Structure 1
Amino acid sequence: MLSYQHAYHAGNLADVHKHALHSSALDYLTRKDKALSYFETHAGRGLYHLDGIEARKTGEAAQGIARVADWFAPDHPYARARAVVAAAHGAAAYPGSPLIAAALLRGFDNMTLAELHPAEVSALRQAMPQRYVQVLQEDGLAMALSRTPPEPRRGLMLIDPSYEVKTDYDRISDLIAKLHRKWNVGVIMLWYPVLANLAYLMMAQALRMRFPDALSHEVRFPPARPGHGMIGSGIFVLNPPFGLQDEATRLTARYAGL
């Protein structure tokens, strides 16, 4: 459960998919001059370096953001967030979702980030800018239930497990249903891997049946290396902000061209 290290995978094609939609949702939500509550259940370390040993070992970033950065114009929120992080940490720096959120949220928005891995928590606390943010070393899914509904009620929660524990797939549908009952106005965004062994499929189907009005979006891409099981990326969003479907449609066309 504590063995997953996202540094090996940061900036891969799944991250590009997730972060493009995540940043687009935040961009829309921050257009109103009203405060937001922002949560992450599996925050990771927040800041990664694409010239680091881990990234170079897998080559996933080279096949990911390094290859497709031109998909995003400079005014796209994903590109804007990356530019903020590069200005602060260098051209090889890559923001995880906490730093993307920090780049796009305002000073009066609230951030709550959960992460279990002690080393990742320590790195996350160092990476986050000086602004109001809670970094919690605790189970993110338990945090999600205990801290909703938040105040302010407008907001977004990103649920992004590693799926190392097989029961994650079994828990997610019921968890999201409970969250939605408690926080029916919240934007609840789930990322999941599209796997050759179809381990994700029952979960994704259950969510679509349970929430037919949600945004469900998957893209496919070549495996990062021979035998690698991840062949795509999925995003499921309750209460998707206006325009998010358009961004998903644009990404479908981009990934189809790989």
Structure 2
Amino acid sequence: MLSYQHSFHAGNAADVHKHALLAFALDYLTRKDKALSYLESHAGRGLYDLSDAMARRTGEASAGVARLEQRFAPDHPWRRTLDAIRKEHGPTCYPGSPLFAAHLLRRFDSLHFAELHPQEHAALTESLPRNPNTRIYKRDGLEMAKALTPPDPRRGLMLIDPSWEVRADYETIARLVPTIHAKWNVGIIMLWYPLLVDRRHAPMLRALKAAVPDLLVSEVSFPPAREGHGMIGSGMAVINAPWGLADEAGRIADLFKEE
């Protein structure tokens, strides 16, 4: 959606859940000295300022990273990366998933990011470190996901993270993810989705579980960030989950339950 801008939502509780799982998975993958591919379908601008007017208008970061970050150990890959990026860009910044990936991956890994929104694409180009193995595409992210799989190298991870502003996205994703998995059976596919009051994600999740029986599902609940806000939790469905991610998902869920 060209109307969607994540600056209103950056650093919210769903970002913490999503990025903590992503950071753990990438940290695990890079323990082996072997190149990998990283693909992201809806990249956004990469770096957000939580002190700007858009972030302050919603207050979602106050209910997210500001409330949750101290619950993570300093050596957790998410917390460690967040601290490192803040040292470079200032204490009010929050990295999107492209910067988490760029920070955790190596120069010999291949990184592919799709972002169709003109302003977000330009900002992403500015925020990402210069790396000859990084590609930024101004194209539909789901189209890129289909076109680039299987990637080279085949070892790797794809993050699919749509805006979910169109109800038809749920049916589209339910068909697309198994197709990508069939083309790239060794790839880790991480799909983020919101938990909304009307549970519109439920049919999609049932379809994915039917297509991929060993699908890992991690869901956390949290209070609405403000009155009338429909998101009451965050979900991540993972195909070919790396070793330890299921246990890590449980630990992260416990952090969301702490008072």
Query: Aligning the two structures, in what range does the TM-score lie when normalised by the shorter sequence?
Result: over 0.9
Give the drift of 1:136: 0.4
User: Which contiguous aligned blocks of 4+ residues in structure 1 show a shift greater than 3 angstroms?
Assistant: none
SS at match of 1:60: coil
Equivalent residue number for residue 227 of structure 1? 228
Q: Is the 8 A contact 1:208 1:216 kept in 2?
A: no
Calculate the TM-score normalised by the size of structure 1.
0.98
Aligned-partner residue type, residue 214 of structure 1: L
Q: Is the 8 A contact 1:35 1:108 kept in 2?
A: yes
Give the drift of 1:39: 0.4
Equivalent residue number for residue 54 of structure 1? 54
Equivalent residue number for residue 94 of structure 1? 94
Equivalent residue number for residue 138 of structure 2? 137
Equivalent residue number for residue 171 of structure 1? 172
SS at match of 2:61: helix
Q: How big is each residue's C-alpha offset from its partner over 1:179-221, in whole Å with a ceiling of 9 and x where there is no partner?
A: 0111000000000000001111111121122212111111111
Equivalent residue number for residue 34 of structure 1? 34
Give the drift of 1:116: 0.8
Give the drift of 1:166: 1.4
Task: Report whether the alignment pairs 1:242 with 2:243.
Answer: yes
Q: Distance in 2 between matches of 1:116 and 1:146?
A: 16
Structure 1: tracts of 5 or more residues without a match: none
Structure 2: tracts of 5 or more residues without a match: none
What is the 5 A alignment of 1:64-213?
A: 64-131=64-131, 132-213=133-214
Equivalent residue number for residue 45 of structure 1? 45
SS at match of 2:186: coil
SS at match of 1:169: helix
Q: How big is each residue's C-alpha offset from its partner over 1:164-184, in whole Å with a ceiling of 9 and x where there is no partner?
A: 111110111211111011100
Q: Distance in 2 between matches of 1:256 and 1:52?
A: 29
Give the drift of 1:114: 0.1
Q: Distance in 2 between matches of 1:253 and 1:205?
A: 24
Q: How big is each residue's C-alpha offset from its partner over 1:40-67, in whole Å with a ceiling of 9 and x where there is no partner?
A: 0000000001111111111100111011
Return 196-205 or 227-236, whichever deviates more.
Answer: 196-205
Calculate the TM-score normalised by the size of structure 2.
0.98
Aligned-partner residue type, residue 239 of structure 1: N
Q: Distance in 2 between matches of 1:52 and 1:205?
A: 39
Q: How big is each residue's C-alpha offset from its partner over 1:107-157, in whole Å with a ceiling of 9 and x where there is no partner?
A: 100000001100000000000011131110000001011111111110000
Give the drift of 1:256: 2.3
Give the drift of 1:81: 1.3
Equivalent residue number for residue 258 of structure 2? 257
Aligned-partner residue type, residue 40 of structure 1: E
Q: Distance in 2 between matches of 1:73 and 1:253?
A: 13
How large is the Cα RMSD of the aligned pairs?
0.9
SS at match of 1:63: coil
Q: Distance in 2 between matches of 1:165 and 1:116?
A: 16
Q: Distance in 1 between matches of 2:94 and 2:257?
A: 24
Return 111-120 or 210-219, whichever deviates more.
Answer: 210-219
Task: Report whether the alignment pairs 1:11 with 2:11.
Answer: yes
Give the drift of 1:93: 0.9
Aligned-partner residue type, residue 22 of structure 1: L
% same residue: 58
Q: Distance in 2 between matches of 1:102 and 1:159?
A: 16
